[in-house]
Structure 1
């Protein structure tokens, strides 16, 4: 068990690539069935439209319907380029049907450069992102809203259904501007491709921005993605992908090499002030039942509370 003064340590399963495109549907159902038989409490879907993965929004709906206790997060869903009014309706309905199980995390742009053309925006990306988030939150929390902004206009709009318990809206991001935005606007933060030393600094930046805005973020609402390079997979390829994302960082500070390397990264991030983790396999998983058994054996003892 890894103890943290910031709250319960929780570790969820991340999904990136399928074994093969024709197997995408059956493999996803295999994963959901295996998760339903495990004690793992969360599944996290990526927004990667040009890869062989289920769409994060549709996949969240399917996963919520096929399971009864599993929490489903998106890490991260690109917000600019989506209609925040329609997205609020979709999230409101999904959170009503699966209460306390939907965990949305939003980002400013697609992770893959060639996917960015799929999210055209009517103005500067940060401004569109922030106004989209404001509209989304107001629709999900207020009885009736009127909004006349730079990019969106609503007059006397009521969203039905709305979840009985307001959704926590988390943000990704690692640049200082994104960290400060998380402090001003988010309920939590989920990092990607950051070292433990960087997540410690990032948490401090976010908390200071929140304090400057007269708000607070729950102590246990800070987390990160970690890529696991399992034994028997191409570790060098995983490290090379991390180096391509972060050429200025040691990729072994970002990728967990083996289960013990992943556990050690989690321990170090906990020391940096994080409590929530999404562990993503760096290569397709041949058998989800076997993988989740090992995941539970190796990651389960690290959780607390």
Structure 2
């Protein structure tokens, strides 16, 4: 199985303008990094919508793969999402890697994604069904509980159907991956937890008469660099703690230095994961220096 390592957003300094996407795209392409992943953070300062950002990056690159990590689907019109993904795939054939999430990680973002109270899972599953249908069929009629389409088409359809990945860690989310998705992207988990997630997804897929390709499992890796601002690292750990109310120690979910990142990646590979998105725990002083280190320290682990 191929191990591939991409990069998430790499902020520079305390106030990184969205225009930093140009430098990020150019540096990732120059360093021949596998992929870039943009998150859906509506209320975060100095960020852009991931699909807009990836379209911008697509125009500046020729080989870099383009991932959403993750795009919140409930609260968006799935027909519009499908049209946007089809357009992005036309601009960057074979390079689009959509991953969807069910709800924003930041509470402040939730009003931007209006969903009937308590119905996120149902809206998500129907929206995903609509997106997949529109991206794979020339004409779609759909009448569900939340969405209604009559003979809707999008063009151009991707030459090859896009693989649609999902995130999530709770049992219901993992079962959903097995039933509906083509892959899984984890976050803020240990290698042992990731292995248990993979096993549950495989079981759910088999129960649904499906199979997910064995190299379609991945996760984020967060690296604390030697010169990282400890206040920013502390804020990150606080955020992880809020997203892991089960009491998991957030310090075990980040890698202190590149050597720790290599060891953690090996453990994840042993657990059956082969796709990784690396991000710094705090703003860096130089994107070029960060990527120089990334390529030197983790590049040899790609296979």
Residue 173 (structure 1) aligned with residue 168 (structure 2) = yes
Q: Is the Cα–Cα contact under 8 Å of residues 196 and 253 in structure 1 kept in the other structure?
A: no
Query: 2:63 aligned with 1:69, yes or no?
Result: yes
**Counterpart in 1 of 2:2?**
8
2:279 alignment partner in structure 1: 280
Q: Are the aligned partners of 1:73 and 1:104 in contact in 2 as well (CA < 8 Å)?
A: yes
Distance in 2 separating the partners of 1:303 and 1:253: 24
From 143, 157, 176, the equivalent of 2:138 is 143
Structure 1 contact 103–168 (Cα < 8 Å) conserved: yes
Ranges in structure 1 where 5+ consecutive residues have no aligned partner: 1-6
State the aligned residue count: 297
Query: Aligned to 2:128, what secondary structure does the other structure show?
Result: helix
Displacement, 1:129? 0.2
1:112 corresponds to 2:106: yes
If the length of structure 1 is used for normalisation, what is the TM-score?
0.93
Q: Matches of 1:301 and 1:69 in 2, distance apart? A: 19
How far the C-alpha of 1:252 sits from its partner, in A, is 3.4
Question: In 2 relative to 1, CA 244–151 (structure 1 residues): closer, same or farther, beyond 3 Å?
Answer: closer
The answer to whether the 8 Å contact 2:29/2:64 transfers is yes
Superposed CA offset, 1:101-145 (max 9, x none)? 111100000011111111002461100000000000000001211
| Higher mean C-alpha deviation, range 204-213 or range 250-259 | 250-259
Answer whether contact 1:77 1:104 (CA < 8 A) is retained: yes
In 2, Cα distance between equivalents of 1:243 and 1:126? 23
Task: Determine the structure 1 residue equivalent to 2:74.
Answer: 80
Is residue 120 of structure 2 the alignment partner of residue 128 of structure 1?
Answer: no
Within 5 Å, give how 1:149-228 maps onto structure 2: 149-228=144-223
Q: C-alpha separation between the residues in 2 aligned to 1:30 and 1:272? A: 34
- Counterpart Cα distance in 2 of 1:201 and 1:266: 16
| 2:51 aligns with one of 37, 45, 57 | 57
The CA RMSD measured in Å over matched residues stands at 1.5
Moved more, 26-35 or 148-157: 26-35
Bigger shift: residues 191-200 or 155-164? 155-164
* Aligned structure 1 segments of 4 or more residues deviating by more than 4 angstroms: none
Shift of 1:18: 5.1
TM-score (norm 2): 0.94
**What residue number does 1:246 align with?**
244
1:253-264 equivalence runs, <5 A: 253-264=252-263
Matched residue of 1:24: which SS? coil
Instruction: Answer with 74-83 or 150-159: which moved more.
Output: 150-159
CA distance 1:8–1:87, shift in 2 (3 Å) = same
* Residue 265 of structure 1: aligned partner: 264
Q: Where does structure 2 lack aligned partners over 5 or more consecutive residues?
A: none
